[in-house]
Amino acid sequence: MEKVGMADEAMGVRTVGTLDMSLRREIPPLPAGVNVMDSSMDGLNAAIYQALANINEPRMKNLVRDAKVMSDDNPELMEVLLETHPQLIYALVQGAMLLNLASPAKIKELLAEQVVEKANMENPAAESTDNVKEQAPEAKESKKTSSDASDEQVLTDEQKNVIKAICAMSEEEIKKSVTDPQQQKLYLEIKNRYSSTNL
């Protein structure tokens, strides 16, 4: 992180590093965590899942809702929070799954939005949804050959965070925590597609 001199600060010059530090100071204190004996990714994810299973439904709904509000109201702060505490991404996705807020349709939406947005960029004159639907398979085919960088440009920060959380899960965790076979398949597809990318 860069430091900014007093003269720069007086002139209003701010670097990314100081903005990041300023945002870090805005993060409210988080509650104490739990001690985890197994520090492997599977052990950490299992501990998070177990902790979430012990939270009652109204409280979990509040946590997920508060995260959504924070993402909408202050996306930069939420990004810093999730970067400094990546386990929260996994916890939010697991919480959404336990509350049945994450459905196969939502996961499909993550992938389908990319196709529709790309089709709209390729043909801005497309006025009807029928026109976009006709173009979507072509966009999907061209997407298979496009670079990962263009994938990242189309995804929102919220979608990237969900994908990161899914990629952090092991296949066993996906099978254990997602009971619907169709949803399991979608999670595994997302994990396979994005686990080697740099979102």
Q: Which of 101, 61, 78 is nearest to 23 (CA)?
A: 78
Distance of alpha carbon 138 from alpha carbon 31, whole angstroms: 48
Give the pLDDT score at 112. 57
| 151 HSE (CA, 13 A, CB side) | 21
Give the pLDDT score at 147. 42
Nearest 5 degrees, angle CA 142-CA 146-CA 147?
Answer: 170
Amino acid in the structure at residue 135: Q
Distance of alpha carbon 188 from alpha carbon 180, whole angstroms: 12
Torsion of CA 160, 43, 177, 189, to 10 degrees: 40
Report in angstroms the alpha-carbon separations of 21 from 90, 130, 157, 180. Answer: 24, 47, 20, 42
Distance of alpha carbon 49 from alpha carbon 94, whole angstroms: 7
Give the pLDDT score at 43. 77
Return the structure tokens found at 102: 């994450």
45 CB neighbour count, 10 Å cutoff: 22
Please answer whether residues 154 and 114 qualify as being in contact, where contact means their C-beta atoms are separated by less than 8 angstroms.
yes
E strands, the chain, are none
Looking up tokens 């670079």 gives 147
Give the pLDDT score at 3. 36
Give the pLDDT score at 117. 56
Give the pLDDT score at 99. 84
Distance of alpha carbon 102 from alpha carbon 177, whole angstroms: 12
Give the pLDDT score at 108. 61
Give the pLDDT score at 19. 55
Walk along the chain (199 residues) and give the pLDDT tens digit of each residue: 333 333 333 333 333 455 566 777 777 666 666 677 777 777 777 888 888 888 889 998 888 888 888 888 888 888 888 888 878 888 888 888 788 877 656 756 655 555 555 555 554 444 433 433 344 444 434 444 444 444 445 777 777 878 888 888 888 888 887 777 888 888 888 888 888 877 6
Q: What is the distance of C-alpha 171 from the center of its chain?
A: 18
pTM for this entry: 0.46
